[in-house]
Amino acid sequence: MSQHLSSEQISWWIAGEHSDGEEQHVRECADCRIEVERWTKVLGRFRAFGQQVDDRCTRTPSMSLKTSTWPRLALSAVLTLSLVAVALWIPQSPDSAMEEPFLAIPFVAPLAPYERATVMRMRMPVAALIAAGFEVDEPESGSSVTADVIVGQDGRAHAVRLLSKWKGNVSQ
Amino acid sequence: MSDFAAMIEASRPRIFRFALSALRDRDLAETVTQDCLLKAYRSISQFRGDSSIQTWLMHIALNLVRDIGRNRRFQFWKKARATSVNLDAAGSWMADPAASPEEQAVDRQQVQAIWGVVDQLSERQRTVFLLHFLEGLTANDIEAITGISRAAVKVHLFRAVHTIRQKLGRSK
């Protein structure tokens, strides 16, 4: 194959289809090779961008600080200091359940980077934990527990942390 | 949560990325992702194992995206949404530390330009293009997800690539 590949042949190549003859031509022809490699590279960048769409849109709020504006940062700092002050002010027993991590509620979209969340303390029926998708090792599903719940701006619960002493075991 | 549920949950980023790319709206993409996972979880018993779980989930996601696309009320609403994502300008998100500022500028322009043309493609060409070049799926996978024959998938992919090359200009 001495002639250059046609525009259609180049497009077919980029789409993943080419013959042995075309492959040999691209090996030998710098012009065609440059064109194929150029578009392969461009579409590679397009794909790399796609991964960033995921990172940007699904990461947790704490990871979005780089994109925050100064007023947001200032507000976050004030909020954080307030929370620290409140945490220091509230007396805690050594075996406080505050050490327990928050457990994400299954099948709820993660908080968007711009979304604010509130931690709400409430009495939570064990049945609600089961309904949210947690596996609860507790024979008495009619009982309730004290829990901190992270609630998004739209009112959806995103994560829960049990606080009260409870013989049951909760997992995802 | 069972292993199956964990596998479903692990697919969340891919489903969200595809939904966001197709719908260009963060809220709708989150809704589709959540609906998709919920639907999958509820119909676990219907999964026959004919395809991979990823393929099965993407099939569900594509149907949900199509449902939204068919709903004309959503079309008007979508354009007015404050949460719309301007993927044409999304190249500005890219920041490859290894690339020079000039290279980064070129990368941004190319990715922005591709997104601009992708929006003008037919629904089938756009779907096939995104599934292949954004998600790295093969023609066989795309056939299983979309129901479009493998041969037709290749033709749609060729047409999408050729259109993009024509619109963005080519050196040959």
**Do A108 and A53 belong together in one domain?**
no
Mean pLDDT of A91-96: 52
Residue A123 lies in a domain: yes
Q: What is the CATH number of the domain that holds B51?
A: 1.10.1740.10
Q: Rounded mean pLDDT of chain A?
A: 73
**Do A54 and A87 belong together in one domain?**
no
Low-confidence ranges of chain B (pLDDT < 70): 1-2, 70-99, 170-172
Residue A67 lies in a domain: yes
Choose from B27, B31, B133, B163 for mutation: most chain A CBs within 10 A.
B133
Residues with Cβ within 8 Å of residue B31, at least 6 apart in sequence: none
Residue A1 lies in a domain: no
* Token pair in block for residue A35: 């064109």
Residue A138 lies in a domain: yes
Residues of B in contact with A8 (CB under 8 A): 158, 162
Alpha-carbon distance B37 to nearest alpha carbon in chain A (angstroms):
6
Write down the pLDDT at residue A27. Answer: 92
**Do A159 and A128 belong together in one domain?**
yes
- What total of structural domains would you count in chain B? 1
Residues of A in contact with B35 (CB under 8 A): none
Say if residue A23's pLDDT is above 80.
yes
Closest CA to A123 of A98, A102, A152, A144: A144
Residue B30 lies in a domain: yes
**Do A22 and A35 belong together in one domain?**
yes
Q: Which residue has the higher pLDDT, A25 or A82?
A: A25
**Cβ–Cβ gap A107/B90 under 8 Å:** no
Closest CA to B51 of B66, B35, B40, B39: B40
Say if residue A157's pLDDT is above 70.
yes
**Do A46 and A11 belong together in one domain?**
yes
Alpha-carbon distance A74 to nearest alpha carbon in chain B (angstroms):
24
Mean pLDDT of A68-83: 67
Write down the pLDDT at residue A28. Answer: 92
Residue A154 lies in a domain: yes
Write down the pLDDT at residue B134. Answer: 87
Write down the pLDDT at residue B170. Answer: 55
Note down the domain range covering B26: 1-84
**Do A87 and A102 belong together in one domain?**
no
Closest CA to B132 of B105, B164, B109, B84: B164
**Do A18 and A33 belong together in one domain?**
yes
The answer to whether the complex's ipTM is over 0.90 is no
Say if residue A84's pLDDT is above 90.
no
Note down the domain range covering A138: 95-171
- What total of structural domains would you count in chain A? 3
Burial group, residue A23, by CB count within 10 angstroms (0-12, 13-18, 19+): exposed
The reply to whether the predicted model has a pTM over 0.80 is no
Q: Which residue has the higher pLDDT, A140 or B135?
A: B135
Closest CA to B37 of B77, B1, B85: B1
Length of chain A: 172
Give the separation between CA B57 and CA B36, rounded to whole angstroms: 7
Q: Which residue has the higher pLDDT, A99 or A136?
A: A136
**Cβ–Cβ gap A53/B17 under 8 Å:** yes
**Cβ–Cβ gap B5/A52 under 8 Å:** no
Write down the pLDDT at residue A169. Answer: 58
Query: How does residue A67 score in pLDDT terms, banded at 50, 70 and 90?
Result: very low
